[in-house]
Chain A
Amino acid sequence: MESVDGNALAGVFAEVFGGDMTTARGRCESCGRMGPVGEAVVYAQAPGMVARCPGCEAVLMTVVRADDRAYLSLKGLSFLEVAV
């Protein structure tokens, strides 16, 4: 199963966050690696989209898009750093 990257999350993240999140930087809770959302390893052929750490493969985030709502889980991130 080949992966894509965090650029594939741009559309649904724009809906959920109201703006671009691909340049936001996150810290992997499992290994401590920091990097932009755009560089996350993304499995987009799934019941939802799964973003994994490019370093250790741990799950960082999942996004499930239902018809009128989205479920966003940031379970594997220590934090997201967002420019404001």
Chain B
Amino acid sequence: MARAALLRRLTWQAATVLEIREETATARTLVLAVPDWPGHLAGQHVDVKLTSEDGYSAQRSYSIASAGMPVEAPLELTVQRVPDGEVSPYLVDAATVGDQMEIRGPVGGYFAWQPDDGRPVLAIGGGSGVVPLMAMLRTHMVAGAKMPFRLIYSVRTPADVIYAKELAATGSAEVEFIYTRETPSGWPHARGRLDAVRLSQLAYPASAAPHVFVCGPTGFVESVANALVLLGHDAMDVKTERFGPTGG
């Protein structure tokens, strides 16, 4: 039984949509039922494959949004609609409860976090790059973890913030927002990108030796990761996940 379950999750298996939650105008969370789901680590992802009736198929990777514990909790993916995309428009606009797709995973041990890692966590996400970081933040909360946890979340406008309500009530975890196009009214800072100056103000210092996770569009990840190294963070403590030009 255990070996069959292991082999099944190494390759494609059917998943059924159990529930849908709208997050923003362009993003929604799909709660999926997967037979014998083995659980996952925060930060991991699944590959999703859609096949049409005439056999045409397309696949993309999506980060797991749900916490790594409890293991029995259903799998959640948060998908952002990509302009001119092929898979995301279906998942965000068309999929309904009961629909089926194929998934492969959970996979990814490099970009993963567990509460028994004692270091402070610095999570930096651009756009939909917040999804795997949210899985880490949720895991931190469910586990009652004590190490400092800070999320720096860069978005274009306030309307683009995924998980807005939840991020307003994160308990011990700290959340800092960066608005690149339009700020909320009364926001004390100018709009602008997460550059080296902002990063030096908002990030834990290198002396705190945090475990850093950076996720989002390729360009965002590269510039943030480079800036962190220039600020003195050890490159081996900075884990990166690039979503491609549009950020997935």
A residues touching B (Cβ–Cβ < 8 Å)? 2-8, 10-11, 13-15, 18-20, 22-23, 36-39, 44
Contacts and interface: CB of A to CB of B under 8 A. Distances in A.
27 contacts: A2-B218, A2-B244, A3-B244, A4-B218, A5-B242, A6-B110, A7-B111, A8-B61, A10-B45, A10-B61, A10-B108, A11-B47, A11-B61, A11-B107, A14-B10, A14-B107, A15-B104, A18-B10, A19-B10, A20-B108, A20-B110, A22-B111, A23-B109, A23-B110, A36-B110, A38-B110, A38-B111
Nearest to B43: A7
B239 A15 contact: no
Interface of B: 10-11, 44-47, 61, 104-105, 107-111, 218-219, 239-245
Q: Which of A6, A7, A10, A19 has the most CB of B within 10 A?
A: A7
Q: Which 6 A-B pairs have the closest CB atoms?
A: A38-B110, A22-B110, A10-B107, A20-B109, A11-B47, A2-B245
Contacts of B61: 7-8, 10-11
A43 to B, nearest CB: 10
A38 B107 contact: no
Nearest to B46: A11
A34 to B, nearest CB: 11
Nearest to A3: B218
A37 B104 CA distance: 19
B241 A11 contact: no
